[in-house]
Structure 1
């Protein structure tokens, strides 16, 4: 594997037709903080995160993923990554240069093998953040992003080769074969996961809570408010993290989680887990059963942003 130049996941950018409804959901229900807003764009922060924002929301005629953003340690690493991508024939969107979004910085953009826009940036200013207090059911940070792909092995190979992500674990099913790869760019079990789906789309975006109590309080708050729950609460085996999945107003799946496993990367060996085993999908046995109807909820709509760079 080539040198790892990506450090962590920064944010995900979403475009939606009903901007005001989605914005209200993220602030009032999901408990993100609007850091900045301007003419149909909202930058939403997590209270415990030094990132200027963890979700960027944009008004658009069609729903799509605008981009997934990752961090790098330095501008030199951004340059090195861009050079590696260009030499490998990856489709570039922009050469390394100044980033014109809150926090600034130095970054580059390119398409992944499925046509998603990926951004990698460094030297982004740190947001004034705070310690999330006990019993406070607000997201601390962005945990991970899961992406649907119609060609699971091709997409895994692309992220391994070009961005030096490492495989942590795999889910398989006796009838369907391998269905999900958990990929890491630091000791956290996964910063992204790749799911086998019928088309390229967003599977879900996950947000880390302070702890178990705060995770359960957040789950309960959303249930009481009538937000549609898809699956949970429970605890996965792969990653050992808790999960509660909900549907946002535009049909995107969002997750509250906590206690994602931190790995000793030098000693770790990937597992192959059979997710037809109920103890794999939910160690606690508290979630509604995983079945084809639950799984289908996260197929989402085919993404309209494939190989089309977002306007900002």
Structure 2
């Protein structure tokens, strides 16, 4: 039996953009998240079915950027242990372990990953009063996973495996052109993080879990009727066995509605490589528009302007 990582789960993702008002309205009024707090222009939004204080934070900035990715830890001791391991390995620490001054509080620290993204790890964050999402209710239950683009994906994957304890679940390839996406887990969900090959470091997409297939399809249809630009879907992936419908938010980031992400055994699961040139490997249902240059272009996103620059909050 192999010990699980000190990181327990994905907490939230923070993004910044010039047009905060339109972005806030998108996530609140169309995507289905609930505003829970704001602090000096930073807005925190929760998923109604999740005990996490918030799953997305939005901040106004002159440039579009990823502010941070936040993960949970089980204890203060684990936070300190991880911080010391990273420091010894030469990882650049942004802030030392201390009280967290955002909704829910807690105790944590921040550091840069190998590509310059800001990563936060925290524990003892107060849980939020959440509720059961009802039948036909097409709003997110929780934050499902986060996918990043890297110009050096093999290096990025190796960094997360070595330093944060993630394990490879599966990967995707394009025939004999080689692998281009790697799915990483820190718990029994098939993936909480994935790394995709791209021309530059950027956000690939942010994914949100819905209650079930009916709610996922209702949410997909609701966004289409509202005129939200669809990128890809609806369909069902082979790797992770989850459904997918990808859309643009108002800053041009890709966001996904999904459901039924696969649970795997931490010790017994063995990774497979799925060739996306085989139609049923990229979409088991055969209902989605093809994965083509249009889809790839928009998922490559704009280069992240926040690398190795800590956000103000």
- Unaligned ranges ≥5, structure 2: none
2:8 aligned partner: 7
- Give the Cα–Cα distance (whole angstroms) in 1 for the partners of residues 267 and 20 of structure 2: 44
- Deviation of the 1:264 alpha carbon: 1.4
1:172 matched to 2:173? The reply is: yes
- Deviation of the 1:40 alpha carbon: 1.6
**Runs of 4+ residues deviating >4 angstroms:** none
Deviations 1:128-183 (A, max 9, x none): 11000000000000000000000111001000000000000010112531100000
SS of aligned partner of 2:205:
strand
1:226 aligned partner: 227
Compare 180-189 and 35-44 and name the one that shifted more.
35-44
Equivalenced residue count is 312
TM-score of the pair, normalised by structure 1: 0.99
- Give the Cα–Cα distance (whole angstroms) in 2 for the partners of residues 145 and 23 of structure 1: 19
SS of aligned partner of 1:298:
helix
2:245 aligned partner: 244
- Give the Cα–Cα distance (whole angstroms) in 1 for the partners of residues 165 and 291 of structure 2: 31
1:192 matched to 2:193? The reply is: yes
Asked if 2 retains the 8 angstrom alpha-carbon contact of 1:4 and 1:163, the reply is yes
2:298 aligned partner: 297
- Give the Cα–Cα distance (whole angstroms) in 2 for the partners of residues 38 and 309 of structure 1: 17
- Deviation of the 1:4 alpha carbon: 1.1
SS of aligned partner of 2:129:
coil
1:215 aligned partner: 216
Spell out the pairing of 1:135-146 with structure 2 (5 A cutoff). 135-146=136-147
- Unaligned ranges ≥5, structure 1: none
Deviations 1:32-61 (A, max 9, x none): 000012332100000000000000000111
- Give the Cα–Cα distance (whole angstroms) in 1 for the partners of residues 92 and 71 of structure 2: 17
Asked if 2 retains the 8 angstrom alpha-carbon contact of 1:42 and 1:56, the reply is yes
- Give the Cα–Cα distance (whole angstroms) in 2 for the partners of residues 203 and 184 of structure 1: 17
TM-score of the pair, normalised by structure 2: 0.98
Asked if 1 retains the 8 angstrom alpha-carbon contact of 2:4 and 2:186, the reply is no
Spell out the pairing of 1:1-312 with structure 2 (5 A cutoff). 4-312=5-313
- Give the Cα–Cα distance (whole angstroms) in 2 for the partners of residues 301 and 266 of structure 1: 37
- Give the Cα–Cα distance (whole angstroms) in 2 for the partners of residues 239 and 123 of structure 1: 30
Asked if 2 retains the 8 angstrom alpha-carbon contact of 1:2 and 1:161, the reply is no
- Give the Cα–Cα distance (whole angstroms) in 1 for the partners of residues 21 and 298 of structure 2: 23
Quote the RMSD (CA, aligned, Å).
1.0
